[in-house]
Every structure is written in structure tokens, then in C-alpha cells.
Structure 1
Amino acid sequence: MYKYGQYCPIAKAVEILGDRWTLLIVRDLLTGTRHFNNLERGLPGISRGLLAERLRRLQRMGLVEKVAVANGRQRTAYYLTEAGQELHTVIDSLLVWGARWAFEEPEENELDPVLLMWWMRGRVRRETLPAGQTVVRFDFEGAKYETFWLLLKREDVSICLTDPGFDLDVLVTADLSAFFQIWLGRLTFAEAQRAKLVQVDGIPTLVEALPTWFSYSLASPAVRAAQKSQND
């Protein structure tokens, strides 16, 4: 932890929160991620050792508590303390500022389709899904071609990196950059379809319903508001 040597509350806060990954860990804890493996999946690029170190330091600083749980293979969970929960306003302010002043089209090295699918899995509106299982294949076109399957059920949502062997109900072919922008609120699904950046094929009723099955990113309202403000 870097020490600024200043008797100032801003300096003290940055000493705790300014290290790489720390605020993103807090972001994910605020949105309900509780287990180490899930935190790691949502933070591609962080090593397990560094994630463990950051969590231990957040515990020492009184922002996070580690709780023993009995949940299958997951033995521990991480929860924000009162001090950690109060960072909600900090994260919200960074989100609004970032959407307004620092959020443009994604760079190629920011387009991780595995991370996108992980985000999508966590934001499925299960109550809107049809009965039974719906199999959706995503073919992403970008720097390289990537294919994923979402197995959608009201009880559970799974991601498959290889063909699960089930009959396909919906096929989504999309430009990866465009789909990230749909997810984050810079494009609507309909706009992307009109621009031929996204094509959806399959059972007609499911094709029509697919855009409504997701809540999209928690950041998307701020991104849309920033775009509206800039266009007014």
C-alpha cells in the first residue's frame, strides 16, 4: 500500500482504495458477487494470488468480512461491512463521471467475450424465460471468432464453451464490439439489428423475445443518460 504522507482524508482514502483492482473488487461485491471464484471470473487479468491479497487487505482495513458458509464447494463468502457499503456512492459517482467523460467505443483489448458471457449469465431475467430449457448460441465476430452457448432455464442459467449437444433454439450472430455496446447502453438491440451488427435467427417467438430476457448492465442507465446529455 502506497503512503502519501499527508494528513488528509482524501489521501487516506486513496491509500486504501487506489491500488489496481481494488475498486473493481468493491464494485463486484456491491453488485452481489460473494465467492472467490466468482470474483476471479468477473476480473479477468487478475491473478488468484493478487485477488487474495487485495481481499485480505480490504479485511484488514475493515471494509470486507470473510464468512464461513455451507454451500456445496464454496466454503467462504465475502461481504462488505458498513464502511464498505458506504463506497456505493463513490462507485456510483465514478460510474456517472466515467460514462460522461471517459466512455467511448471499446478498444480491441477490452473485448473479452468470456467476461461478456459471464455478465450476461448474471443478468438473465429468469421470470421472463419460457418453460423448459432454451438453448441460445452466440457467434461473436471480432479479432477472432468465438462461439458460446447459454442454456437458459428458470431455475438455472449455464454457459458452455463447447457444444452441449442440445437442439438449438436461437442463434445470435453479432459483432463483438457492438454487443458490448448493447450491453453497456451505448447501442440498443434494435439499433444494432438495423445496422446489421446483430442478427438473430431461430424460432420466431423466441427470436422476438430474446432481447427482453436480460436486464443488461447496471451501468447502462448512466451511459444512456450521458449520451442523451451530450446529444442535447
Structure 2
Amino acid sequence: MPSHYGQFCPVAKAMELLDERWTLLVVRELMMGSQHFNALRRGVPRMSPALLSKRLQTLVRAGVVERWEDGNRVTYRLTDSGRELEPIVEALGRWGIRWIPELGDEDLDPHLLLWDVHRSIDTEAVPDGRTVIAFVFPDVPPSNRRWWIVITGDGVDVCDVDPGHDVRVTVESSLRTMTRLWRGDLAWAAALGSGELVLRGEPQACRALPRWLKLSSLAPTPRPVLAAG
């Protein structure tokens, strides 16, 4: 049930809608360009379909999201009200990456990581034609250990089943290392220099990979300087 604070305070009224579990993460996915139910599900892979549907219905009723039907295809978009939440969600992300940097094992998810990575590819930096990047996480159970990003002139796809195309470069690291790199907690040079991350494949592709894979939009967030102990 939604929280009701019984206060006229505008912050309290806003939180009656926004502090339900997953709500702001659904808004984040809409901000990032997901418009269809299955795409939204991939951005919140641990959220049940039933709960996602419920949260979308609540956001539509509140006027934060609009729902469009075109035949059997349903599209969700942020309204003017929803777009006003964008700087709030971004500020929460910057605050979180600055002040809550710790990542537990339960926070690491290859589905979410590769979904985020695939939609931040710098397609203009990637050579024309088809480019396939493979990812191997040796510390992950075999069913989720191997992933592929396929880049063509038609777009970028992420696959958890071998697409059957030649791979230009393979990235091998722990899931934690790749997640820290994506977040900006770890630099490419440091990851490669330490051996925590290994690139295999075409030499030119290995050199170019850091240009192809743009990091999280929050990666440049300045971290606090810790006082010497």
C-alpha cells in the first residue's frame, strides 16, 4: 500500500507517490529511453512483471507517465511532470555514487550491467559493418557467464546466447571489476595494468574499446577526498 504521511508538506506529498519500492528506478528506465514493457523489464531485471505493471499503472494515474496504444503495441513515455523528475533522479545518482560507493555481492547483476553498457555504445566510434564484443565473467555461474554486444548500422543488441558472429574483442574480468569500471570507480588503465581486466582479439579493436564503451553518465562524478587516517 502507498505510504500516507498525513502532512501538507510538498515533500511528503511527493514521497507518497515516489517512495514506493522500484518507482524511481522505473522512472530512471524511462529517462534512459526504454519505452516498451519488455525493455523496461530488462532495465529492472529483479522486478517482477506484475509489480512493474502495477507501478506503471500508478505512474500513469498520477500523470507522470503516459501510455500509448498502437494496435497491440503499448508505449510508455514520461509526461512533462515525469520529465521534471529527471534532474532529481540524476542528483540522487550523483549523491549515491559519491557517498554510498560500497557494492555488495547482491548488488552485482550481469543482466543490468550489460543492458546499461549496450545502450551507451559510441556507435560513431565503432567501425562500419558488424562489430561483436564478447564479455566473459569467470566468477559468475555458467548460465550467466558469457555475453555479447552486437553493433550494426541498425542498432545495438545485447545477447546472452552466442549470436554466431565473429568476435572482434573479448573482455574478461570479474563482474565486480567490470561494474566498477562502468561506474567510474576504476579507470581503464588501472584495470588493464593490474590484470583485473584482460582484452583479447584484434589489436586495433582492443586499443579502441575504451572509446567504444562510453561509461555511465555518472562516472565523471567527483568522489570525496578522504582525510588521511
**Normalising by the residue count of structure 2, what TM-score does the alignment of the two structures yield?**
0.91
Relative to 1, partners in 2 of residues 1:208 and 1:45: Cα closer, same or farther, differing over 3 Å? Answer: same
Distance across 2 between alignment mates of 1:165 and 1:28: 29
Q: Kindly indicate whether residue 106 of structure 2 is the aligned counterpart of residue 109 of structure 1.
A: yes
Indicate conservation of the 8 Å contact 1:184/1:217, yes or no.
yes
CA offsets 1:40-79 (integer angstroms, 9 cap, x no match): 1000111111111111111111111112247xxx712111
The CA deviation at 1:8 is: 1.4
User: What are the residue-to-residue correspondences of 1:47-196 with 2, within 5 Å?
Assistant: 47-69=48-70, 75-104=73-102, 106-145=103-142, 146-196=145-195
Q: Kindly indicate whether residue 26 of structure 2 is the aligned counterpart of residue 25 of structure 1.
A: yes
CA offsets 1:81-119 (integer angstroms, 9 cap, x no match): 111111122112212221221122x21111111211111
The CA deviation at 1:2 is: 1.6
Higher mean alpha-carbon deviation, 163-172 vs 34-43, is at 163-172
Indicate conservation of the 8 Å contact 1:135/1:151, yes or no.
yes
RMSD: 1.8
Higher mean alpha-carbon deviation, 95-104 vs 18-27, is at 95-104
Distance across 2 between alignment mates of 1:36 and 1:121: 18
Distance across 1 between alignment mates of 2:85 and 2:135: 35
Distance across 1 between alignment mates of 2:125 and 2:227: 33
Distance across 1 between alignment mates of 2:177 and 2:54: 35
Identity %: 38
Distance across 2 between alignment mates of 1:6 and 1:68: 37
Q: Who is 1:12 aligned against?
A: 13
Relative to 1, partners in 2 of residues 1:207 and 1:66: Cα closer, same or farther, differing over 3 Å? Answer: same
Task: Tell me how many residue pairs correspond in the alignment.
Answer: 225
Q: Who is 1:210 aligned against?
A: 209
Distance across 2 between alignment mates of 1:169 and 1:96: 33
**Normalising by the residue count of structure 1, what TM-score does the alignment of the two structures yield?**
0.90
Higher mean alpha-carbon deviation, 37-46 vs 74-83, is at 74-83
SS of corresponding position for 1:200: strand
Indicate conservation of the 8 Å contact 1:129/1:153, yes or no.
no
Indicate conservation of the 8 Å contact 1:40/1:51, yes or no.
yes
Indicate conservation of the 8 Å contact 1:17/1:23, yes or no.
yes
Distance across 1 between alignment mates of 2:90 and 2:133: 33
SS of corresponding position for 2:173: strand
Q: Aligned partner of 1:110: which letter? A: D
Q: Kindly indicate whether residue 167 of structure 2 is the aligned counterpart of residue 200 of structure 1.
A: no
Q: Kindly indicate whether residue 34 of structure 2 is the aligned counterpart of residue 36 of structure 1.
A: no
User: Which residues of structure 1 form unaligned runs of 5+?
Assistant: none
